[in-house]
């Protein structure tokens, strides 16, 4: 039997069972002609409405699933992801890495929960090149002088770690690890491209790379709504973090801003074995308007930089005496050599002296410990304690804004190590 007919019959029989008031009996009650699949305007509207509701629910489910996946991704992914600056912004600033062709970028990890409105921006240590030959040797190294072959992700450790056990204060923050790919920690401002002996084009405009990077960050993130920003510089990156503190703070237009400087910053650059005149000329550091006519490394000396007017706090944090400043300053070769010649002690004393001199300057907090060789960025249980406190504790306290000026130095005998 054809199902359609069967249904008609059912309908008809149910119709006969409907109660109809007597008075209406002869008023031509027409037999309902509704058939299955037939769409009256009302039915259609209902059907459309129902499918719209179902559709919306499905879309919502998919969106929340996507959100859920993104959330899982943010919570489980500990690495920074490569972001390449938009071509438009890069060309507006004429920002290209040392290799003369690759567009600069940086690594980023998004913050979660409370950390969504907090930002840690790191300028890592990077080599300064002071001759064409020197610069050419780094144009093939990813992240040094080029972004070609830059890894898609970069492991974030130490102060960039998202493990609360290791990095309680910053673990859930937004984190950006910059890539100064111009051989000058963003300090250079040479507008002309130079050709080396092999007729390869080199670009030495670090300032333009920084300007483009900041513009890209502002245009693609919520950093302008941030509650707290910490600019963190390490090694040579600490020098540029201090030199650019005001510039970066005012460009990002953020009120709560602290500069945190780690290791390698406070050495007496006047005694450096590094050929500074060549570095200045090659990168046209004098043409950097932010540094205001800086024509010798003296103006990048911590002593000078700390003197310049400042509106935000600076925390200097030197855990360990890294080999790098010793070899550049005194020309010693390795750990054994530098220790034997007494340069390690000499360096630490010089740094301590510099800090003590600047104690009067408001908003300078200094944490110094010389019990290690390596350049430490995150404080572990193995680190020496200062006045029986972990360096991380002191660091966190100084970032909370309660401490305006202080100097913390270990006792020099390194006995507190590991306690």
Residues near ligand NAG (CB under 6 A) are: 189, 191, 207, 227-228, 256, 287-290, 333-334, 336-337, 388, 400-401
Q: Which two tokens stand for residue 272?
A: 């450096």
| Count of other CB atoms within 10 angstroms of residue 391 | 23
Smallest gap from Cβ 149 to ligand NAG, in A, equals 28
Beta carbon nearer to ligand NAG, 190 or 366: 190
Mention every residue, 6+ apart, whose C-beta is less than 8 A from residue 233: 122, 123, 239, 240, 241, 242, 259, 260, 261, 262, 265
Beta carbon nearer to ligand NAG, 172 or 354: 172
Please give the C-alpha separations between residue 218 and each of 86, 158, 215, 223, in angstroms, as whole numbers: 12, 25, 5, 6
By beta carbon distance, the residue nearest ligand NAG is 401
218 by Cβ neighbours in 10 Å (0-12 / 13-18 / 19+) ranks as middle
Smallest gap from Cβ 388 to ligand NAG, in A, equals 4
Beta carbon nearer to ligand NAG, 142 or 287: 287
Beta carbon nearer to ligand NAG, 219 or 400: 400
Smallest gap from Cβ 91 to ligand NAG, in A, equals 16
At residue 201, φ and ψ (nearest 5 deg) are -80, 135
Q: Which two tokens stand for residue 350?
A: 């010089």
Smallest gap from Cβ 110 to ligand NAG, in A, equals 19
Smallest gap from Cβ 54 to ligand NAG, in A, equals 45
Smallest gap from Cβ 83 to ligand NAG, in A, equals 21
Beta carbon nearer to ligand NAG, 124 or 188: 188
At residue 47, φ and ψ (nearest 5 deg) are -60, -45
Please give the C-alpha separations between residue 324 and each of 197, 328, 351, 375, in angstroms, as whole numbers: 29, 6, 14, 9
Smallest gap from Cβ 400 to ligand NAG, in A, equals 4
Beta carbon nearer to ligand NAG, 86 or 312: 312
Beta carbon nearer to ligand NAG, 141 or 256: 256
Instruction: Report which of 398, 304, 375, 393 is spatially closest to residue 158, judged by C-alpha positions.
Output: 375
Smallest gap from Cβ 230 to ligand NAG, in A, equals 9
At residue 174, φ and ψ (nearest 5 deg) are -70, 135
Beta carbon nearer to ligand NAG, 191 or 357: 191
């Amino acid at each position: 039997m054809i199902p359609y007919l069967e249904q008609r019959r059912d309908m008809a029989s149910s119709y006969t069972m409907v109660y109809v008031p007597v008075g209406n009996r002869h008023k031509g009650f027409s037999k309902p002609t509704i058939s299955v699949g037939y769409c009256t305007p009302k039915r259609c509207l209902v059907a459309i409405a129902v499918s719209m509701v179902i559709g919306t629910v499905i879309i919502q489910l998919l969106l929340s699933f996507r959100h859920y996946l993104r959330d899982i991704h943010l919570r489980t992914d500990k690495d920074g992801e490569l972001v390449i600056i938009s071509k438009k912004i890069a060309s507006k600033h004429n920002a290209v890495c040392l290799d003369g062709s690759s567009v600069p970028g940086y690594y980023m990890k998004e913050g979660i929960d409370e950390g969504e409105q907090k930002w840690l921006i790191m300028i890592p240590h990077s080599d300064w090149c002071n001759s064409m030959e020197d610069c050419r040797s780094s144009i093939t190294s990813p992240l040094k002088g080029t972004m070609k072959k830059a890894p898609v992700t970069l492991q974030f450790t130490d102060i960039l770690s998202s493990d609360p056990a290791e990095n309680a204060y910053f673990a859930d923050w937004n984190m950006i690890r910059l890539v100064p790919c111009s051989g000058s920690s963003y300090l250079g401002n040479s507008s002309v491209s130079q050709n080396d002996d092999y007729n390869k084009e080199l670009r030495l405009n670090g300032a333009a790379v920084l300007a483009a990077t900041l513009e890209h960050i502002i245009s693609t993130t919520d950093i302008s709504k941030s509650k707290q920003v910490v600019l963190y510089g390490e090694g040579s990156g600490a020098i540029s973090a201090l030199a650019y503190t005001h510039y970066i703070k005012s460009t990002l237009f953020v009120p709560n801003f602290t500069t945190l400087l780690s290791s390698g910053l406070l050495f007496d650059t006047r005694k450096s074995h590094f050929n500074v005149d060549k570095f200045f000329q090659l990168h046209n550091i004098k043409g950097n308007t932010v540094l205001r006519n800086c024509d010798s490394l003296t103006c990048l000396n911590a002593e000078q930089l700390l003197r310049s007017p400042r509106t935000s706090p600076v925390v200097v944090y030197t855990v360990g005496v890294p080999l790098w400043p010793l070899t550049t300053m005194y020309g010693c070769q390795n750990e054994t050599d530098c220790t034997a010649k007494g340069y390690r002690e000499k360096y630490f004393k010089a740094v301590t002296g510099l800090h003590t001199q600047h104690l009067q300057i408001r908003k300078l907090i200094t944490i110094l410990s010389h019990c290690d060789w390596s350049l430490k960025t995150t404080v572990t249980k193995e680190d020496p304690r200062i006045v029986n406190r972990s360096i991380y504790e002191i660091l966190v306290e100084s970032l909370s804004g309660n401490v305006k000026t202080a100097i913390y130095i270990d006792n020099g005998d390194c006995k507190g190590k590991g306690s």
